[in-house]
Amino acid sequence: MKTKILAILIGTFLVAGNAFAITYTFEDTVVNWPDYNVNSADQMGSPDVGGMTVTVNDNTNILETVTLSIQDRLYYDSLFINSYNTTTTPSKMNDWDDWDYYIRDDDSGTGLQNEGMYRVNDGYSYTLVQSNGRIGHPNGIDMGSLTLMNSSLNGIVSYDGSTLVYDLSGINIDVSNGFTIGYTPYCANDVMLASSAPEPGTLFLLGMSLIGVSAYCRKK
């Protein structure tokens, strides 16, 4: 009987191994992004960013989802991804803001002309908040610095009033060397920046807080 039970358990783990993912959980501890110390307030009105979880496939190291806790979401907003694999700016190869991918979600009521998922080109330039917010803080990437990957965010971005989910499982973003992910609304009133720390000191230097790493099994 013991032999049969052991065999069943081993078989179960072998099957489940193909469906494991790693979840990184981050608190919102960042007030301003590094080099943009423009305001001492963590939150300036709306929205309220509460934290972020990042899910990575444990077998393939492909980025699956980025989920943010957000109240009173504002448009447009931006997600920035550094996969530490594709070098966008050679001089910034190991920098936290060597962004590889950028997602901009516009408000359908004010136009969707810039909405989409993009690759970030070499020598990119930020757009900065000009008024009514965290003035001088990055809130996006200049459109001239981007190459369009997908003009539709259907099936990629969803928001239910409190949880913002980026489903990136079909994009094939390899984060085997680590990742840094940033989020800002257009006003940068409350921003997020988190890293899986390719180097041990990264979390400390960026003022981030990795509060949990766990594995879970998903049903296919």
DSSP string, 48-83: EEEEEEEEEETTT-BEEEEEEEEES--SSEEEEEE-
Using 50, 70 and 90 to split pLDDT, how confident is the model at 203? Answer: very low
Q: Is 70 exceeded by the pLDDT of residue 16?
A: no
The mean per-residue pLDDT over the stretch 190-217 comes to: 55
Q: How confident is residue 45, by pLDDT bands cut at 50, 70 and 90?
A: confident
Q: Tell me the H-state helices in the chain.
A: 2-16, 202-206
Amino acid making up residue 7: A
pLDDT score of 190: 94
Say if CB 147 and CB 100 are below 8 A apart.
no
- Report the candidate in 175, 169, 174, 164 with the shortest Cα–Cα distance to residue 198: 175
CB-based contact 136:36 (threshold 8 Å): yes
User: What's the rounded Cα separation, in Å, for the pair 46 and 132?
Assistant: 11
**Position 111 pLDDT exceeds 90:** no
Rounded CA-CA distance 58/122 in Å is 30
Q: Which residues contact 175 (CB under 8 A, 6 or more apart)?
A: 56, 61, 62, 63, 83, 84, 85, 196
Residue 200 pLDDT greater than 60, yes or no: no
pLDDT score at 148: 97
Residue 204 pLDDT: 36
Mean residue pLDDT across the chain: 81
pTM of the model: 0.80
